[in-house]
Amino acid sequence: MRGRGEKKTNFQMLFSNNRGAYVSLWFLLFISGVSLIGAFFIDTSQLMRVDLTRITEPPSAQYWLGTDHGGRDVFNQLVLGTRHSLAVAFLVTILSGVIGGVFGLLSGYMGGRIDYVMMRIIDFFQTLPFIMIVIVFVALVPTYNVLSFSIVMTVFLWMPIARVVRAQVLKEKEMMYIQASKTLGTPAFKIMTKQLLPNVMSVWIVSMTLNLALNMGLESGLSFLGFGFPPDAPSLGTLLSYAQSPSNLEYYWWLWLPAALLIFFIILSIRQLGEMIHLHFNEKKGGE
Amino acid sequence: MTKDLLKVTDLKQYFPIKGGMLGRTVNHVKAVDGVSFTVKEGETVSIVGESGCGKSTTGRAILRLDDPTSGEVEFDGEDLLGLSKKEMRKRRKDLQIIFQDPYASINPRQTVRQILEEALEIQNTVPKKDRPDKIAELMETVGLGAHQADRFPHEFSGGQRQRIGIARALSVDPKLIVADEAVSALDVSIQAQVINLMKRLQREFSLTYLFIAHDLGVVRHISDRVIVMYLGKIVEMGDKKSIFDNPHHPYTKALLSAIPVPDPAPEKKEERVFLKGDVPSPIDPPQGCRFHTRCPFATEKCKVETPELRPEDTMEEGHVAACHYMKEIIDGTHKPQQ
């Protein structure tokens, strides 16, 4: 029996057994908040202007995390970079999640020939050389922004979700409750949205969350290699790429370490949340 | 009362086996191979048999959950297999099913209200404003409380879940309910409750049941007529009393002798018929009589000639069986072969 005073809200219940996820959530909210609000106060062209009078200064009261080889403020780059990286990661995750999810749902439920053709389409996309095409895209398109970059990434990243959702649909559609709906005469669309969707939702959302972490890493990775955002657009990966040079690695830790830690903790937090969502869905189903 | 509600003629359900490099159909599983029977309005017909004899497949084929390979299913004078998908959807209102596993047969993410509402909405039997009342009424009918309608399935026990399944089937006012092993997954005490509930509902709503089961005790309790299946074919069919008291087919005899007796005193115990071996594969069923590989009475004739369902003088009206030696076995002139 719980007293009236200690009655927990749904939100508290959700996190009651998962301190890690609770911390992760606040950390992510804080990071996104700072990067979103901070972006209003930072003028990108001003920030990215090269100023040779103050190159590679160590952290000080004026430059919280020092400056880089172009005399640019690292902290402000970090704020903008986080915003860019998060925006790309979120956009790619949502786009690929929706496309892949709908694709997988249809493919799995329809079955037979339609499923066969749809799976071959997935196979086709998976054989495309992702990195190479992104490099070509970056070289060909002179000005690309968050949206167009996300769309290009999405083209290569929706297939795993489609496969995961399809597999779950294949499992669920043989369940008797789907058959029961069929005997009631429920139309296919309604079976998919009302019966199948809620039951594949958990898998769908969990794999989307994990993909978010993956996409975050992927974006940083591409920028690290120099195929992400152009050098004048700050990104976590670009900051990280300073670590490619041994002297930076040894003497100018403030260039790359904050970005590395930030990427590490953001990805870790997203995974923690994904894990919690996964557990939560299973609980709702009766702990199966 | 004596109108034929369901008439199944020469129903066949073959499932293709894909194989080889190109995924060709290399063979078929002959799950149901030429089954014919009729079910009269208001009666309970049971189909019994071992696992894999095609009893569930027959039920599913009647409901067109799987499309049968060939044959005819006539329901209330209308050929169900000839209907388009759209027409069939409307017809589904009259044919419902109760599944075996109460844990798998209801969507874990819908409340009971949502489950029942879906049924009412799709067949549109009840106007929208009356639906909450109808749901409450249905819940009471199957012995659940109306206040439980907003709970999720995992908050109910197995027996209660089965009642939800029954309520869902009832919600569209069906004429025929196929009960596919509807009580096999329940405890014995709960089985009795659910069976008695089904019997009461049959009286109240003048339902017809096609009861698929392997538990002969249950079958004896609920049925009017019994169909015995073996390896995709009907081997014996008739009035419950006639089948249970006077079985003619050796397979039925073996099946019935396997029913546990409450008082197994030696002098009361009837002779137990043991069968040797397993059920042969339905991919390549034996020639002639399908039971000849395990039948103690089998002869050369059984290996070649397929016996047809036929009545015998010693049987009551409407009782038929498919064996070459029914009469000879009864009067003792045909002994078990070595």
Which residues of chain B make contact with A284, given a CB cutoff of 8 A? 109
- State which amino acid sits at residue B110: Q
Whole-number CA gyration radius for chain B: 21
Assess whether pLDDT exceeds 50 at residue A26.
Answer: yes
Q: For an interface test with A, give the residue of B83, B95, B109, B124 to mutate (most A CBs within 10 A).
A: B109
Residue A223, pLDDT score = 83
Where does the pLDDT of residue B268 fall: very low under 50, low under 70, confident under 90, or very high at 90 and above? low
| Digit-coded pLDDT (tens) for A265-287 | 999 999 888 888 888 777 665 54
The SS3 assignment for B210 reads strand
Which residues of chain B make contact with A186, given a CB cutoff of 8 A? 118, 122
Residue B44, pLDDT score = 93
Least confident of A62-71, A150-159, B72-81: A62-71
Question: Are A194 and B118 inside 8 Å of each other by CB?
Answer: yes
- CA pair distance A84, A1, nearest whole angstrom: 48
Q: DSSP states of A154-165 as a string?
A: HHHHSHHHHHHH
Query: Using an 8 Å Cβ cutoff, are B263 and B319 in contact?
Result: no
Question: Are B105 and A176 inside 8 Å of each other by CB?
Answer: yes
Where does the pLDDT of residue B101 fall: very low under 50, low under 70, confident under 90, or very high at 90 and above? confident
Q: Where are the alpha helices (DSSP H) in chain A?
A: 10-15, 19-41, 44-47, 74-110, 112-127, 130-140, 146-157, 159-173, 176-184, 188-190, 197-225, 236-240, 246-251, 253-284
Distance from CA of B104 to the nearest CA of A (A): 6
- State which amino acid sits at residue B185: A
Question: Of A186, A198, A286, which has the smallest distance from its Cβ to B154's Cβ?
Answer: A286
The SS3 assignment for A143 reads coil
Least confident of A34-43, A46-55, B133-142: A46-55
| Digit-coded pLDDT (tens) for B42-97 | 899 999 988 888 888 999 899 888 888 899 999 988 888 888 888 888 888 889 99
Nearest alpha-carbon partner for B45 in B246, B248, B208 = B208
φ, ψ of residue A149 in degrees (nearest 5): -65, -40
What is the extent of the structural domain holding A161?
A: 20-284
Residue B178, pLDDT score = 92
Residue A2 in any domain: the answer is no
Question: Of A175, A284, A286, which has the smallest distance from its Cβ to B104's Cβ?
Answer: A175
Nearest alpha-carbon partner for B177 in B192, B162, B198, B196 = B198
| Digit-coded pLDDT (tens) for A81-139 | 888 888 889 999 999 999 999 999 999 998 889 999 999 999 999 998 888 888 888 78
Length of chain B: 338
Other Cβ atoms closer than 10 A to A2: 7
Residue A283, pLDDT score = 67
Distances (CA, A) of B112 to A232, B98, B144: 58, 15, 11
Question: Of A176, A185, A284, which has the smallest distance from its Cβ to B123's Cβ?
Answer: A185
- State which amino acid sits at residue B63: L
Residue A6 in any domain: the answer is no
| Digit-coded pLDDT (tens) for B160-210 | 999 999 999 988 889 999 998 888 888 888 888 889 999 999 999 989 999
Nearest alpha-carbon partner for B91 in A199, A189, A184, A193 = A184
The one-character DSSP state at A48 is T
Query: Using an 8 Å Cβ cutoff, are B179 and B170 in contact?
Result: no
pTM: 0.76
- CA pair distance B183, B192, nearest whole angstrom: 9
Question: Of B89, B108, B168, which has the smallest distance from its Cβ to A185's Cβ?
Answer: B89
Assess whether pLDDT exceeds 60 at residue B267.
Answer: no
ipTM of the complex: 0.72
Residue A140 in any domain: the answer is yes
Q: What is the mean pLDDT of residues A224-253?
A: 81
| Digit-coded pLDDT (tens) for A168-197 | 999 988 888 888 888 888 888 888 888 889
Buried b / exposed e over B24-52, threshold 16 CB at 10 Å, is eeeebbbbbbebebebbbbbbbbbbbeeb
Question: Are A176 and B104 inside 8 Å of each other by CB?
Answer: yes
The one-character DSSP state at B308 is P
Instruction: Please identify among residues 93-132 of chain A the ones whose CB lies closer than 8 Å to any CB of chain B.
Output: none
Which residues of chain B make contact with A198, given a CB cutoff of 8 A? 107, 109-110
The domain tally of chain A equals 1
Which residues of chain A make contact with B89, given a CB cutoff of 8 A? 185, 187
Assess whether pLDDT exceeds 80 at residue A70.
Answer: no
Both tokens of residue B263? Answer: 């008082």
* Strand ranges in chain B using DSSP code E only, listed in sequence order: 4-19, 24-40, 44-48, 70-75, 78-79, 95-98, 176-180, 208-213, 225-230, 233-239, 320-321
Query: Using an 8 Å Cβ cutoff, are A100 and A121 in contact?
Result: no
Q: What is the mean pLDDT of residues A209-220?
A: 88
Residue B159, pLDDT score = 87
Residue A156 in any domain: the answer is yes
Query: Using an 8 Å Cβ cutoff, are B92 and A163 in contact?
Result: no
Question: Of B65, B93, B108, which has the smallest distance from its Cβ to A185's Cβ?
Answer: B93
Residue B236 region, left (φ>0) first, then alpha (ψ -120 to 50), else beta?
beta
Residue A150 region, left (φ>0) first, then alpha (ψ -120 to 50), else beta?
alpha
- CA pair distance B159, B191, nearest whole angstrom: 8
- CA pair distance B110, B124, nearest whole angstrom: 19
Where does the pLDDT of residue A3 fall: very low under 50, low under 70, confident under 90, or very high at 90 and above? very low
CATH number at residue A43: 1.10.3720.10
Query: Using an 8 Å Cβ cutoff, are A239 and A255 in contact?
Result: yes
- CA pair distance A95, A158, nearest whole angstrom: 8
Residue A98 in any domain: the answer is yes
Higher pLDDT, A263 or A49: A263
- CA pair distance A2, A279, nearest whole angstrom: 24
Which residues of chain B make contact with A175, given a CB cutoff of 8 A? 104-105
The residues, ordered by sequence, that sit 6+ positions from A42 with a Cβ below 8 Å of its Cβ are A76, A79, A80
Assess whether pLDDT exceeds 80 at residue A52.
Answer: no
Residue A265, pLDDT score = 92
Whole-number CA gyration radius for chain A: 23
Q: Which residue in chain A has the smallest CA separation from B178?
A: A183
- CA pair distance A217, A229, nearest whole angstrom: 14
φ, ψ of residue A285 in degrees (nearest 5): -80, -5
Residue A62, pLDDT score = 77
Assess whether pLDDT exceeds 80 at residue B20.
Answer: no
Distance from CA of A200 to the nearest CA of B (A): 11
Mean pLDDT of chain A, nearest integer: 83
Instruction: Please identify among residues 167-186 of chain A the ones whose CB lies closer than 8 Å to any CB of chain B.
Output: 175-177, 179-186
Residue A15 in any domain: the answer is no
Give the rounded distance of the alpha carbon of B93 from its chain centre: 19
CB pairs under 8 A between A and B: 70
Query: Using an 8 Å Cβ cutoff, are B5 and B75 in contact?
Result: yes
Assess whether pLDDT exceeds 90 at residue A41.
Answer: no
Residue A9 in any domain: the answer is no
Q: For an interface test with B, give the residue of A171, A177, A179, A196 to mutate (most B CBs within 10 A).
A: A177
